[in-house]
């Protein structure tokens, strides 16, 4: 029986997890010497590569000194916390990766807390010691204090620390001694992480993630908790509602290298993929037919934000997308809930509107971006936070911990912006040449905060936040102050019209673009919305004008990313998302209907 080590790599976003996994893959010679491969081998979908973040956790296994090491690369962003919690169930130990300058960040605390609660043995890797003004010894002390504060046991506090640079491909127990490669890390994993326990008895496994293949359908992935599963075996699937279904395993696979290999049987401690199991959910237990025992279900943090998803009914619908009907939208959203645990979809009284609940703006925007790339057209409303009612009938709202590292001269601006969003400053201390600020702030106050902070600090702020708890409502937060510029007519935008209107505000469109009546084309420099005519052309005559025509100078349009657009829109606006465009529009395109609705809202 081969010995197995199951290890999850956890860290804050951008601290170098996926790069480290790359180097482990190289060190264990999974590729032939002449084989071509890129960087960030595990971030294999376009969205992950473009944003430089891991969204879905992935498994890879390497063999070293006769031991099989299953490595699980986890997301670092708090919006994908649902992914991390499930994945830790597969592991016996964790590699905590910390940046040698930034030290433990809020997301590090969130994931490490989960790992310590599960009793996993940590190995600490202080990464990026090649960076200027890094402070490995201080960071090592901070990690120890953090673990102590999270209630780690003595065994967990007696952790092994490695220093190095994933990018340069070396790891060492002393940061002043640079080694040739990262084999010291693999040795430490084998020596410190306990081998996967072998539990004898009737077979039992919990489904912690799933895969999909167009040939065999859904594939259940999990770690065998007890006993042995064999190909062709009859098993019982135990669902959340207490029902039990009998099924047959068609095929078993284990993770080998970057892929999967077929296996006749899989014993306890090994991570495997099982084909032939239908109609399962994440958290269900697969067990022996004779001895039906369910494992405790995985609990996932509740969503804190919701958005209205609806079909695209703008004048430009169907021009770019393949999937435009409410049936397409419904099927796609419900399909997403099968594998995206922290997401919930609720139908409304209208056939073509759905409320989608998620963990934050990034969580929802990744879903929208994935859908538009698949050819869907849809519209989404303004993100809303989810309120709850307390025991005494008081209104509760989600509060988050916001951490900002910012240059000294910009700290005042950041504190002012956070205070406007009802943030409360808890900690302000120097961290190298930066100021380290920590706030408690309502989730509502974070909507639109990132772009404001980056503008105020000339892009130098490092921001991170994580959900803390539901606390009493903090009072109203002022939204966007300026009104919108709304197109009066449909048609092509002329440079002449934009030039004449530049003193009214800033534009989100360029001359030559097609717009429709009711579309939001810019931001007014006052508080009210106004309609503008963008199709005005210059009247040409054969009379010579007394003044010479000056060249039209038009300021470039403001280009919004998907998240910035989601944070920018108001309650009476939708975001229209198609495979090639993102447009903002008023919910009611007709100005007279818009006025009637405004009056109704005021009366209500």
Q: From residue 449, how far is each of 26, 414, 420 by CA, in Å?
A: 40, 10, 10
Q: From residue 18, how far is each of 126, 136, 192, 290, 497 by CA, in Å?
A: 15, 21, 22, 42, 49
Residue in the structure block whose two tokens are 């910390």: 98
pLDDT digits (tens, 9 = 90+) for 116-136: 888 888 888 888 877 777 788
Q: Are residues 89 and 141 part of one domain?
A: yes
Distance separating alpha carbons of residues 114 and 149, to the nearest angstrom = 13
Domain boundary residue, one of 164, 192, 220? 192
**Looking at the domain assignment, is residue 320 inside a domain?**
no
> Per-residue confidence at 40, pLDDT binned at 50, 70, 90?
very low
**Looking at the domain assignment, is residue 327 inside a domain?**
no
Q: Are residues 454 and 414 part of one domain?
A: yes
Average pLDDT over residues 357-375: 86
15 appears as a binding residue in the annotation: yes
Distance separating alpha carbons of residues 7 and 94, to the nearest angstrom = 5
Q: Domain with 405 in it: what CATH number?
A: 3.30.70.240
What's the DSSP call for residue 326? H
pLDDT digits (tens, 9 = 90+) for 461-472: 877 777 788 888
| Residue 445, φ and ψ in degrees, nearest 5 | -70, -20
> Per-residue confidence at 393, pLDDT binned at 50, 70, 90?
confident
Q: Are residues 592 and 558 part of one domain?
A: yes
pTM above 0.95, yes or no: no
254 appears as a binding residue in the annotation: no
Q: Domain with 561 in it: what CATH number?
A: 2.40.50.250
Which one, of 334, 280, 317, lies nearest residue 519 by Cα? Answer: 317
Q: Are residues 172 and 71 part of one domain?
A: yes
- Report how far Cα 543 is from the mean position of its chain's Cα atoms: 61
Percentage of the residues of the chain whose pLDDT score is greater than 90: 9
538 appears as a binding residue in the annotation: no
Q: Are residues 210 and 182 part of one domain?
A: no
Checking if the pLDDT of 315 tops 50, the result is yes
Distance separating alpha carbons of residues 197 and 457, to the nearest angstrom = 51
Distance separating alpha carbons of residues 596 and 426, to the nearest angstrom = 45
**Looking at the domain assignment, is residue 85 inside a domain?**
yes
- Predicted local distance difference test score (pLDDT) of residue 355: 92
**Looking at the domain assignment, is residue 542 inside a domain?**
no
> Per-residue confidence at 35, pLDDT binned at 50, 70, 90?
very low
Which one, of 2, 589, 40, lies nearest residue 269 by Cα? Answer: 2
Q: Are residues 42 and 183 part of one domain?
A: yes
- Predicted local distance difference test score (pLDDT) of residue 29: 54
Contact yes or no for 101/128 (Cβ under 8 A):
yes
Checking if the pLDDT of 52 tops 90, the result is no
**Looking at the domain assignment, is residue 348 inside a domain?**
no
- Predicted local distance difference test score (pLDDT) of residue 604: 65
| Residue 385, φ and ψ in degrees, nearest 5 | -80, 155
Checking if the pLDDT of 43 tops 60, the result is no
- Predicted local distance difference test score (pLDDT) of residue 515: 92
Q: Domain with 63 in it: what CATH number?
A: 3.40.50.300
The interaxial angle of helices 183-192 and 17-27, nearest 10 deg, is 100
Query: Residue 486, Cβ neighbours under 10 Å: how many?
Result: 24
Token reading at 62: 């390497």
Token reading at 496: 């002449």
Domain boundary residue, one of 288, 310, 341? 288
Token reading at 25: 């893959």
- Predicted local distance difference test score (pLDDT) of residue 300: 65
- Predicted local distance difference test score (pLDDT) of residue 546: 52
- Predicted local distance difference test score (pLDDT) of residue 30: 42
Taking CA 46 as the corner, what is the angle to CA 40 and CA 48, rounded to the nearest 5 degrees?
55
pLDDT digits (tens, 9 = 90+) for 493-547: 998 888 888 889 899 998 889 999 999 999 998 888 899 998 888 777 666 655 4
Domain encompassing residue 283: 204-288
**Helix, strand, coil in percent for the chain, rounding step 5:** 25, 35, 40
**Looking at the domain assignment, is residue 432 inside a domain?**
yes
Q: Are residues 496 and 452 part of one domain?
A: no
Average pLDDT over residues 252-281: 82
Distance separating alpha carbons of residues 345 and 337, to the nearest angstrom = 7
Average pLDDT over residues 9-27: 69
Q: Are residues 425 and 276 part of one domain?
A: no
Checking if the pLDDT of 41 tops 60, the result is no
130 appears as a binding residue in the annotation: yes
Distance separating alpha carbons of residues 133 and 6, to the nearest angstrom = 34
Domain boundary residue, one of 127, 160, 192? 192
What's the total number of domains in the chain?
Answer: 4
- Predicted local distance difference test score (pLDDT) of residue 389: 85
- Predicted local distance difference test score (pLDDT) of residue 407: 86
Q: Domain with 215 in it: what CATH number?
A: 2.40.30.10
Checking if the pLDDT of 210 tops 80, the result is no
Taking CA 280 as the corner, what is the angle to CA 273 and CA 348, rounded to the nearest 5 degrees?
135
- Judged by DSSP in three states, 470 sits in strand
529 appears as a binding residue in the annotation: no
Q: Are residues 209 and 186 part of one domain?
A: no
pLDDT digits (tens, 9 = 90+) for 438-491: 899 998 888 878 778 888 888 778 777 777 888 888 888 877 778 899 999 999
Contact yes or no for 503/555 (Cβ under 8 A):
no
Checking if the pLDDT of 97 tops 90, the result is no
Distance separating alpha carbons of residues 92 and 115, to the nearest angstrom = 10
Percentage of the residues of the chain whose pLDDT score is greater than 70: 87
18 appears as a binding residue in the annotation: yes
Q: From residue 79, how far is each of 53, 459, 563 by CA, in Å?
A: 12, 22, 13
Average pLDDT over residues 548-573: 80
**Looking at the domain assignment, is residue 564 inside a domain?**
yes
b/e string for 413-437 if b means 16 or more Cβ within 10 A?
Answer: bbbebbeebbbeeeeeeeeeebbbb
b/e string for 127-144 if b means 16 or more Cβ within 10 A?
Answer: bbbeeeebbbeebbeebe
Q: Are residues 35 and 104 part of one domain?
A: yes
12 appears as a binding residue in the annotation: no
More confident residue, 44 or 363: 363
Distance separating alpha carbons of residues 122 and 105, to the nearest angstrom = 17
19 appears as a binding residue in the annotation: yes
Contact yes or no for 21/60 (Cβ under 8 A):
yes
Contact yes or no for 433/133 (Cβ under 8 A):
yes
- Predicted local distance difference test score (pLDDT) of residue 152: 81
Q: What is the pLDDT of the chain when averaged over all its residues?
A: 80
- Predicted local distance difference test score (pLDDT) of residue 258: 72
- Judged by DSSP in three states, 139 sits in helix
Which one, of 39, 178, 166, 42, lies nearest residue 98 by Cα? Answer: 166
Token reading at 80: 């994908």
Q: Are residues 532 and 402 part of one domain?
A: no
Which stretch, 269-273, 402-406, 585-589, has highest mean pLDDT? 585-589
Q: Which of 105-119, 237-251, 505-519, 581-595 has the lowest mean pLDDT?
A: 105-119
Q: Are residues 105 and 57 part of one domain?
A: yes
Distance separating alpha carbons of residues 58 and 145, to the nearest angstrom = 30
How many residues are listed for the chain in this entry? 604
């Amino acid at each position: 029986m081969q010995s197995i080590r199951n290890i999850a790599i956890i860290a804050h976003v951008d601290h170098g997890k996926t790069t480290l996994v790359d180097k482990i893959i190289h060190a264990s010679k999974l590729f032939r010497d002449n084989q071509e491969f890129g960087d960030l081998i595990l971030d294999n979908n376009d969205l992950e590569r473009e944003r430089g973040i891991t969204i879905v956790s992935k498994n890879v296994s390497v063999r070293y000194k006769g031991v099989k090491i299953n490595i699980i690369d986890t997301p670092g962003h708090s919006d994908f916390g649902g992914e991390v919690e499930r994945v830790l169930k597969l592991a016996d130990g964790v590699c905590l990766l910390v940046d040698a300058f930034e030290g433990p960040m809020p997301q590090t605390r969130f994931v490490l807390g989960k790992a310590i609660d599960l009793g996993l043995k940590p190995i600490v890797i202080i990464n990026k010691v090649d960076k200027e003004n890094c402070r490995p010894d201080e960071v090592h002390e901070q990690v120890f204090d953090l673990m102590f504060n999270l209630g780690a046991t003595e065994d967990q506090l007696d952790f092994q620390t490695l220093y190095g640079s994933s990018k340069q491909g070396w790891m060492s127990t002393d940061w002043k001694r640079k080694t040739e490669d990262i084999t010291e890390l693999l040795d430490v994993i084998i020596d410190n992480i306990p081998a996967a326990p072998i539990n004898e008895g009737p077979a039992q496994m919990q489904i912690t993630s799933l895969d999909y293949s167009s040939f065999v359908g859904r594939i259940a992935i999990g770690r065998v908790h007890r006993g042995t599963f064999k190909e062709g075996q009859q098993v019982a699937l135990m669902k959340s509602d207490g029902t039990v279904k009998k099924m047959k395993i068609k095929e078993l696979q284990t993770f080998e290298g970057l892929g999967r290999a077929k296996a006749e049987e899989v014993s306890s401690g090994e991570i495997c993929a099982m084909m032939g199991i239908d109609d399962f959910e994440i958290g269900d237990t697969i067990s022996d037919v004779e001895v039906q025992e369910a494992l405790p279900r995985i609990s996932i943090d509740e969503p804190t934000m919701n958005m209205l998803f609806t079909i695209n009914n703008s004048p430009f619908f169907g021009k770019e997308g393949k999937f435009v009907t409410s049936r397409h939208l419904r099927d796609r959203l419900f399909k997403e809930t099968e594998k995206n645990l922290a997401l919930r979809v609720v139908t409304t009284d209208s056939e073509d509107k759905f409320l989608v609940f998620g963990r934050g703006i990034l969580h929802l925007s990744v879903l929208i971006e994935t859908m538009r790339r698949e050819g869907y057209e849809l519209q989404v409303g303004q993100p809303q936070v989810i309120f709850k009612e307390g025991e005494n009938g008081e209104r509760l709202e989600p509060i988050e911990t916001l951490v900002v590292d910012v240059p000294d001269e910009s700290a005042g601006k950041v504190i002012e912006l956070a205070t406007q969003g009802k943030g409360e400053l808890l900690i302000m201390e120097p961290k190298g040449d930066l100021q380290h600020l920590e706030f408690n702030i309502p989730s509502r106050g974070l909507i639109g905060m990132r772009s404001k902070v980056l503008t105020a600090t000339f892009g130098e702020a490092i921001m991170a936040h994580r959900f803390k708890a539901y606390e009493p409502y903090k009072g109203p937060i002022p939204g966007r102050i300026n009104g919108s510029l709304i197109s009066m007519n449909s048609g092509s935008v002329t440079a002449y019209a934009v030039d004449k209107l530049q003193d009214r505000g800033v534009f989100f469109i360029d001359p030559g673009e097609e717009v429709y009546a009711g579309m939001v084309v810019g931001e007014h420099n006052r508080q009210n919305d106004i309609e503008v005519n963008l199709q005005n052309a210059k009247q040409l005559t054969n009379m010579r004008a007394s003044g010479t025509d000056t060249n039209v100078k038009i300021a470039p349009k403001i280009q919004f990313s998907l998240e910035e657009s989601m944070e920018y829109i108001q309650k009476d606006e939708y975001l229209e998302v198609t495979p090639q465009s993102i447009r903002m529009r008023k919910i009611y395109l007709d100005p007279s209907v818009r006025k009637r609705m405004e009056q109704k809202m005021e009366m209500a």
